Amino acid sequence: MTVTETPVRIAELSCGAEYSGIQPEIDSAVKQVNAVMVYPEVETSEIETIEEELGLKVASPDLKLMMARAKSIVTGKVHVDAVFISTCFRCAEAAIVRSEVRRYINENTRIPVISYSFTERTTAATLLTRMEALTTTARRKSLLAREKQTGITAGIDSGSTTTKCVVMKDNKIIGKGWVPTIKVLESADEAFNNAMKEAGVTRSDIQALGTTGYGRFLIGEHLKADLMQEEITVNSKGAVYLAEKQKGPATVLDIGGMDNKAISVLDGIPGMFTMGGICAGASGRFLEMTAKRLGVEITKLGALAIEGDAKNVKMNSYCIVFGIQSLVNNLAAGCTPQDVAAAACHSVAEQLFEQQLQEVDVKEPVIMVGGTALIEGLPKAVEELLKLKVIVPPNAQYIGAVGAALLSSGFISK
Partner 1 sequence: MKVFIYPTNSLILSDLVERFGHKPLAMMQVIGKKVRTQGLDSPPLNVTPEDPKFGLKYAAVEVPSGVRGRMALFDPLLTQAEAAVVVVDPVLSFGCQGCARTNELVNFLLRGKKIPLLRLDYPKDEEEAKLFVYKISEFLKSLKPEEVKK
Residue 183 burial (CB count, 10 A): 11
Asked if 120 touches partner 1 (CB under 8 A), the answer is yes
Please identify, among the stretches 15-23, 186-194, 206-214, 265-273, the one whose residues bind partner 1 according to the rule CB under 8 A.
15-23
Please pick, from the candidates 118, 192, 273, 353, the single residue that binds partner 1 as defined by CB under 8 A: 118
Asked if 41 touches partner 1 (CB under 8 A), the answer is no
86 versus 408: smaller Cβ distance to partner 1: 86
C-alpha dist (Å) from residue 143 to 100, 193, 229, 373, 407: 30, 27, 12, 27, 7
- Return d(Cα 58, Cα 400) in angstroms, integer: 41
| Least distance to partner 1, CB of residue 358, Å | 18
Asked if 100 touches partner 1 (CB under 8 A), the answer is no
| Least distance to partner 1, CB of residue 47, Å | 6
59 versus 332: smaller Cβ distance to partner 1: 59
Please identify, among the stretches 90-98, 148-156, 296-304, 377-385, the one whose residues bind partner 1 according to the rule CB under 8 A.
90-98
19 versus 217: smaller Cβ distance to partner 1: 19
Asked if 60 touches partner 1 (CB under 8 A), the answer is yes
Asked if 65 touches partner 1 (CB under 8 A), the answer is yes
120 versus 354: smaller Cβ distance to partner 1: 120
Residue 81 burial (CB count, 10 A): 20
| Least distance to partner 1, CB of residue 55, Å | 19
Q: Which of 212, 110, 209 is nearest to 159 (CA)?
A: 212
27 versus 205: smaller Cβ distance to partner 1: 27
Q: What angle do CA 14, 19, 22 make, to 5 degrees?
A: 75
Asked if 24 touches partner 1 (CB under 8 A), the answer is yes
48 versus 244: smaller Cβ distance to partner 1: 48
Binding residues for partner 1, rule CB under 8 A, total: 30
Asked if 35 and 135 count as a contact pair (C-beta separation under 8 A), the reply is yes
36 versus 258: smaller Cβ distance to partner 1: 36
- Return d(Cα 67, Cα 202) in angstroms, integer: 55
Helix axes 61-74, 92-108, angle to 10 degrees: 10
Question: What DSSP string runs through 179-200?
Answer: EE-SSHHHHHHHHHHHHHHHHT
Asked if 101 touches partner 1 (CB under 8 A), the answer is no
| Least distance to partner 1, CB of residue 49, Å | 11
Beta strands at 227-228 and 208-213: parallel, antiparallel or unpaired: parallel
Q: Which of residues 121-160 bind partner 1 (CB under 8 A)?
A: 121
Q: Which of 232, 253, 273, 268 is nearest to 353 (CA)?
A: 253
- Return d(Cα 164, Cα 177) in angstroms, integer: 6
Helices and strands: H and E segment counts in the chain? 15, 14
- Return d(Cα 1, Cα 56) in angstroms, integer: 40
Please pick, from the candidates 9, 32, 49, 62, the single residue that binds partner 1 as defined by CB under 8 A: 62
| Least distance to partner 1, CB of residue 63, Å | 8
Please identify, among the stretches 91-99, 271-279, 302-310, 366-374, the one whose residues bind partner 1 according to the rule CB under 8 A.
91-99
- Return d(Cα 167, Cα 172) in angstroms, integer: 9
| Least distance to partner 1, CB of residue 355, Å | 16
Asked if 89 touches partner 1 (CB under 8 A), the answer is yes
Asked if 262 and 272 count as a contact pair (C-beta separation under 8 A), the reply is no
Please count the residues of the chain.
414
Asked if 58 touches partner 1 (CB under 8 A), the answer is yes
Paired with 165 in beta bridges are 156, 177
Residue numbers of the site for partner 1 (CB under 8 A)? 15-24, 44, 47-48, 58-62, 65, 87-91, 93-94, 118-121
